[in-house]
């Protein structure tokens, strides 16, 4: 069956959440938004492309930072309203220069940073 990206369930702003996961380790690195065109560009080029809500423009991960996300596998959930992009990450995934955006935990009611920025 041929994949038709328009069959995905985008929200009322035309967006769908995309979770980026390291293909080798399984670590969840970040969550960002895609619109239909970002999905299509990602599948066409193999470079993960998101939609920046603040800039209202496409954002090809690593285009300015060099922290590239190369698409390995593209999946969607059973409701077709959330994406999982399995990637090869070069450098930090987070804009704070950490490997993952999920570097803060709550332990015994306190916020704890689990990883320092990359060198």
pLDDT at 119 over 80: no
Task: For 69-102, write each residue's pLDDT tens digit.
Answer: 999 999 999 999 999 999 999 999 999 999 999 9
Split at pLDDT 50, 70, 90, the class of 118 is confident
Residue 111 forms part of a structural domain: no
Rounded Cα gap, residues 87 and 47, in angstroms: 9
Binding site for Mg(2+): residue ranges?
Answer: 77, 79, 81
Name the CA dihedral angle for 17, 20, 23, 28, rounded to a multiple of 10 degrees. -110
Both tokens of 32, joined, read 């960002």
Binding site: residue ranges?
Answer: 77-79, 81, 94, 101
Matching residue, tokens 């059973």: 78
Binding site for Zn(2+): residue ranges?
Answer: 78, 94, 101
β-bridge partners, 59: 50
pLDDT on residue 62: 85
Which CATH number fits the domain that encloses residue 23?
3.10.20.810
Helix (H) or strand (E) holding 39: helix 36-45
Residue 77 forms part of a structural domain: yes
The total number of structural domains in the chain stands at 1
């Amino acid at each position: 069956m041929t994949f038709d990206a328009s069959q995905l369930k985008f929200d009322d702003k035309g967006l769908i959440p995309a979770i980026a996961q390291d293909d080798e380790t399984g670590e969840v690195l970040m969550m960002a938004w895609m619109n239909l065109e970002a999905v299509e560009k990602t599948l066409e080029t193999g470079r993960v492309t998101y939609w920046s809500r603040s800039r209202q423009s496409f954002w090809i991960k690593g285009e300015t930072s060099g922290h590239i996300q190369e698409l390995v596998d593209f999946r969607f959930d059973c409701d077709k309203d959330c994406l999982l992009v399995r990637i090869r990450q070069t450098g930090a995934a987070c804009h704070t220069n950490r490997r993952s955006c999920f570097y803060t935990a709550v332990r015994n009611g306190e916020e704890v940073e689990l990883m320092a920025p990359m060198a």
